[in-house]
Amino acid sequence: MTHEEYQRAAQHWQARDAAEARMDRARLSGAIEAYIRANNTCALATGAGSFVRCTPIEYAWHDGCFWMFSEGGEKFIGLEQNPNVCLAIYDRYDGFGNLKGMQVMGTAELIEPFSERYLAHAAFKQIPEAALRKLAEPMNLIRVQPSRIDFLNSDFRKEGFGSRQELVLQPEEGKTR
């Protein structure tokens, strides 16, 4: 493919989505929040230079961010060099008219082990501090602050909206609603 062909392919949905009915911010935020809370596993993509890693990982959602405990792994190669991440949450494919999935672009931050925020998340997850302190090495805690959420939900069509909706968040917003 030529550069122009790549560009045309990359922009395919922008023109189509521009003609679709958009949800108001509050309604979209509520739908996004509900979908995030209805799930607990995502695919977290990290990368730097020619290195890319996509890791299935459990998350918790609170304070407008995704929080993930991790023992380690190659995702940290990308996280060390590049805080920009993307995560995906999606339902099993069950036909073109039943699509549900979400892509979240954002910034990752590693939370200092046993800091106030670390312990607050452990309490949220109902993990006793004593259990975390017994580990040979502290669990890593990744916090992802979303900056853009693209939500594909075929059910939006039933409400008269385009099935693809985008929510752009400002860093100071901190929450989707």
DSSP 113: T
Decide if 20 is inside a domain: yes
CATH number at residue 52: 2.30.110.10
pLDDT of residue 16: 81
- Please work out, in degrees rounded to the nearest 5, the angle formed at the alpha carbon of residue 30 by the alpha carbons of 104 and 100: 55
- In the chain, count H helices and then E strands: 7, 8
Decide if 54 is inside a domain: yes
CA distances from 144 to 20, 77, 159, 162 (A): 29, 16, 30, 27
Q: What distance in Å separates the CA atoms of residue 49 and residue 81, rounded to the nearest whole number?
A: 9
Decide if 108 is inside a domain: yes
pLDDT of residue 170: 80
Alpha carbon 18 to chain centroid, angstroms: 23
Decide if 173 is inside a domain: no
SS3 85: strand
pLDDT of residue 161: 96
Structure tokens at 13: 């949905």
Decide if 11 is inside a domain: yes
Decide if 139 is inside a domain: yes
pLDDT of residue 18: 83
Which is nearest to 89 in space by CA: 55, 43, 47? Answer: 43
The answer to whether 147 and 105 are in contact (CB under 8 A) is yes
**Structural domain tally of the chain?**
1
Q: What is the pLDDT along the chain (177 residues), one digit of tens a residue?
A: 999 999 988 888 888 888 888 999 999 999 999 999 999 999 999 999 999 999 999 999 999 999 999 999 999 999 999 999 999 999 998 887 789 999 999 999 999 999 999 999 999 999 999 999 999 999 999 999 999 999 999 999 999 999 999 999 986 554 443
pLDDT of residue 14: 85
Structure tokens at 96: 């073109």
pLDDT of residue 88: 98
- Domain of 98, in residue numbers: 3-168
Decide if 177 is inside a domain: no
pTM of the model: 0.91
Decide if 27 is inside a domain: yes
